[in-house]
Amino acid sequence: MNASINKFWQAAYQMVDSFFARLPSLIVGVIVFLLFYVLSIFVSRVILRTTRHHRPNLGVVFARLIGAAIILLGFLVAFSVVAPSFQAGDLIKILGIGGVAIGFAFQNILQNFLAGLLLLWAEPFRIRDEIKLDNYEGTVEDIQTRATIIRTYDGRRVVIPNADLFTHSVTVNTALDIRRWEYDLSAKNVGELADLKSLVTNTVSKVPGVLPSPGPEVLVMDLGDPNANIVKMRVFWWTKAPRQHEMLASYDKVLTAIDQTLNPSAVAQPRAA
């Protein structure tokens, strides 16, 4: 019994002695890693500040990649300080085996991460752009490496995995400076069709915010029942305001102007989206 206790205390003493023997190198390794970590933050901020006015998304990509590379280098240097016998070949073997296991375990996370880097690199849309994906539509608030966050028009926050944005069709409403709007109009008791089209076109062209070039258009879509004398037309106009709220304001002005001009001979009917 006494021999077992003595062996236990000898093993514990050796462990404590070994810990204190390695303590200086451990402290130096931690300090080295912290220095590399601070360096990665500094370099990332410099890259973001340099590319802020030109290619901000591209700057985010380089900042994250270079920052991660610096942290990895710091870990290797710190580990070599703590364990001088450590060889780079041993790390390659560990990473080779562990990389396969991690790849299978975190397949979706890695897929979203790579998709996020490609989105930041290609820049199909930017922060503050208004986009639409399936049933989600709103303003881009942040593009992270795993997901993109948008704020819908009714004030909800939606987190969309980057893999969905990369593999599905995304509509960027604010990609261009000008945008075309359209609305369906039913006119009853029409006399000369050409005169009615000219009247509507002139009315829309005078609305504030409607561009003169390309100018408004009115196209006949359906003559309907000849006995009822109802004509269905589609009105097109362009504005420099591509955002949702500006679109609603343009609809309000155009439809109000048409109603004031044609009422009671015409009734505007919304077109299904």
Region at 217 (left for phi over 0; alpha for psi -120 to 50; beta for the rest): beta
Selected residue with higher pLDDT from 197 and 13: 197
Res 223 pLDDT > 60: yes
Selected residue with higher pLDDT from 139 and 113: 139
Q: What string of H, E and C letters represents the secondary structure of 105-117? A: HCHHHHHHHHHHH
**pLDDT grade for 118, boundaries at 50, 70 and 90:** confident
- Cα–Cα distance between 89 and 95 in angstroms, integer? 10
Res 91 pLDDT > 70: no
SS3 147: strand
Give the CATH number, domain containing residue 165: 2.30.30.60
φ, ψ of residue 268 to 5 degrees: the values are -80, 135
Length of the chain: 273
- Domain that residue 128 falls in: 122-172
- Cα–Cα distance between 163 and 64 in angstroms, integer? 18
Percentage of the chain lying above the pLDDT 70 cut: 75
Q: Is 14 part of any domain? A: yes
Question: 172, 189, 210 — which closes off a domain?
Answer: 172
Q: Do 158 and 193 fall within a single domain?
A: no
Q: Do 223 and 152 fall within a single domain?
A: no
Average pLDDT over residues 150-167: 90
* pTM of full prediction above 0.85: no
Q: Is 228 part of any domain? A: yes
- Cα–Cα distance between 81 and 64 in angstroms, integer? 26
- Cα–Cα distance between 58 and 47 in angstroms, integer? 10
Pair of tokens at residue 100? 């396969």
One DSSP character per residue, 29-58 reads HHHHHHHHHHHHHHHHHHHHHHSTTS-HHH
Percentage of the chain lying above the pLDDT 90 cut: 10
Q: Do 207 and 256 fall within a single domain?
A: yes
Res 59 pLDDT > 60: yes
Give the CATH number, domain containing residue 207: 3.30.70.380
Average pLDDT over residues 63-76: 82
Q: Do 188 and 154 fall within a single domain?
A: no
pLDDT value at position 21? Answer: 57
Q: Is 35 part of any domain? A: yes
Average pLDDT over residues 12-37: 71
Q: Do 73 and 150 fall within a single domain?
A: no
pLDDT value at position 131? Answer: 92
Average pLDDT over residues 11-33: 68
pLDDT value at position 270? Answer: 47
Q: Is 110 part of any domain? A: no
Res 130 pLDDT > 80: yes
Q: What's the structural domain count of the chain? A: 3
Q: Is 202 part of any domain? A: yes
Q: Is 103 part of any domain? A: no
